[in-house]
């Protein structure tokens, strides 16, 4: 009797796994690599695998997540149409050759991502957490109307309290405060912890919150963006979240090496638009309606060309990945890449291999310690392949490398939130600044080269000498890398 009962259970699990595998293959129409990875998970860990699939494997429904009626009032559609037509008939006013040289990339972002090109920006680069947050706290203190804050991770630890007390002080002055955090990235944060700010009229929202404690059925689709906009005039974008580890105060990681941009100029408006779209998705009662105060006239601050590019599972195309690939394909001299997670898909690997085999100086920098262990070993597997093609790979030794940056030829670059992995390309909501400016790109290249002095080069000989256990870990991690 007991044996037949267990046989019934086993048969039921087998039928359930087969049914789910059929759904994966014929109904969801995933790419082959992720389909095989999920089938392996389902059949090798049948019960737990099904639970993992429910949490991490289900596709996000293709519906309009980000709506804002005020978007039309800022004239984005008309501006895009004007820029597209002007570029096509060669009448667009490229103020600098740097932007004109990357016309094809600019058009791709314009046409597919509504990423308008602005050429009047001033950009300040931060690579140290304390310097970045000191600047942010100063700008918060100078706010005159509103402060919009969005982070994937927001901890109310020492750093988080500094920021919270700063915005509290501004709320008491009548400044409008909005804080948006990701519910999974900030899993221990609760809106009630901001009760004093809310009592003063501030607003706090969580992106894709869960109705169940510690379990979020949409945890696979996270808002990984980091955006701050102050008075519609100053914007921040990059890799730093809010937490003491980003100041290098956590022993596990040591010094935290990241890259963040402070922007003044017309590209603050696209950052503002991105924040408002994300905010209105998360807010059930306090949507932002259009107001001129969010999009003030900004006098020319500089001459840096910028496009703010967003991507996410709501989009038909992998916008930031496509931008990365196009940028790499346009390189003539060198390609510098920094990413904490390097798990490229086949198209990305082929593009980098072709660059290496074409004699282009390809350099990739990754961290020396794991943040996520499977991702870490998969990263080593992929960089090992590129070393064979001629790429130079550097292991950063001065703490944890978290920056997401690509620079080519001292001419163009990108900094933002998107890692080089399937999660950033397809699953997370990300945002990057694409930069068309020699001076800024050269600064980023110099930063990369300074980081090389704090790194160890992984040679082909070193990679081949790794132990059998490491080879096994790499092979296992690579096998499931399409779903990491």
d(CA 326, CA 107): 11
Give the count of beta carbons closer than 10 Å to the beta carbon of residue 374.
Answer: 16
User: Measuring CA to CA, which residue among 327, 339, 181 is closest to residue 259?
Assistant: 339
- Which residues neighbour 400 within 8 Å (Cβ) at sequence distance 6 or greater? 253, 254, 255, 256, 257, 340, 367, 369, 371
Strands 334-338 and 455-458: unpaired
CA 162 to chain centre: 25
Helix (H) or strand (E) holding 128: strand 118-128
CA 79 to chain centre: 26
Residue whose tokens read 């955090």: 181
- Which residues neighbour 398 within 8 Å (Cβ) at sequence distance 6 or greater? 254, 255, 257, 451, 454, 455
First vs last C-alpha separation in the chain? 41
Burial 146-181, CB ≥16 within 10 A → b, else e: bbbbbbbbbbbeebbebbbebbbebbeeebbbbbbb
Active site residues: 224, 226, 231, 402, 404, 409
Cα torsion 445, 253, 364, 454 to 10°: value is 60
Phi/psi for 61 (5° steps) reads -60, 135
Q: Tokens in use for 285?
A: 């009662």
**Secondary structure of residue 184 in the 3-state scheme:** coil
């Amino acid at each position: 009797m007991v044996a037949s009962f267990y046989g019934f259970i086993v048969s039921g699990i087998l039928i359930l796994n087969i049914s789910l595998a059929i759904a994966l293959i014929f109904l969801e129409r995933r790419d082959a690599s992720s389909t095989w990875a999920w089938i392996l998970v389902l059949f090798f860990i049948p019960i737990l695998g099904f639970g993992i699939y429910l949490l991490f494997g289900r596709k996000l429904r293709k519906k309009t997540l980000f709506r804002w009626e005020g978007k039309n009032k800022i004239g984005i559609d008309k501006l895009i149409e004007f820029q597209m037509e002007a570029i096509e008939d060669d009448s667009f006013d490229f103020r600098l050759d740097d932007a004109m040289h990357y016309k094809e990339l600019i058009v791709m972002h314009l046409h597919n991502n509504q990423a308008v090109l602005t050429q009047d920006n001033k950009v300040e680069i931060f690579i140290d957490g304390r310097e970045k947050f000191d600047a942010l706290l100063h700008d918060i203190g100078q706010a005159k109307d509103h402060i919009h804050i969005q982070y994937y991770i927001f901890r109310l630890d020492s750093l988080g309290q500094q920021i919270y007390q700063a915005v509290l002080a501004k709320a008491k002055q009548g400044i409008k405060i909005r804080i948006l955090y990701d519910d999974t990235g900030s899993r221990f944060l609760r809106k009630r912890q901001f009760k004093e700010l809310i009592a003063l009229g501030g607003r706090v929202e969580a992106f894709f919150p869960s109705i169940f404690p510690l379990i979020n059925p949409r945890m696979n689709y996270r808002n990984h963006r980091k955006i701050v906009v102050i008075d519609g005039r100053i914007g921040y974008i990059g890799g730093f979240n809010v937490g003491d580890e980003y100041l290098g105060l956590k022993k596990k990681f040591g010094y935290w090496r990241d890259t963040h941009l402070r922007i003044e100029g017309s590209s603050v408006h696209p950052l503002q638009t991105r924040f408002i779209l994300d905010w209105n998705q998360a807010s059930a009662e306090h949507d932002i309606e259009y107001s001129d105060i969010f999009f003030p006239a900004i006098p020319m601050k500089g001459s840096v060309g910028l496009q703010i590019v967003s991507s996410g599972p709501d989009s038909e195309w992998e916008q930031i990945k496509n931008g990365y690939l196009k940028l790499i394909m346009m390189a003539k001299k060198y390609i510098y890449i920094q990413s904490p997670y390097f798990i490229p898909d086949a198209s990305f690997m082929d593009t980098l291999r072709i660059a290496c085999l074409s004699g282009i100086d390809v350099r990739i920098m990754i961290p020396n310690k794991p943040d996520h262990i499977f991702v870490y070993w998969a990263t080593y597997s992929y960089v090992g392949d590129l070393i064979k093609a001629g790429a130079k790979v550097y292991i950063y030794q001065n703490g944890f490398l978290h920056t997401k940056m690509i620079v080519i030829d001292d001419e163009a670059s990108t900094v933002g939130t998107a890692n080089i992995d399937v999660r950033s390309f397809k699953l997370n909501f990300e945002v990057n600044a694409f930069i068309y400016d020699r001076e800024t790109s050269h600064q980023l290249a110099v930063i990369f080269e300074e980081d090389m002095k704090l790194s160890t080069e992984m040679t082909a000989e070193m990679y081949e000498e790794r132990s059998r256990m490491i080879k096994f870990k790499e092979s296992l991690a690579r096998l499931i890398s399409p779903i990491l």
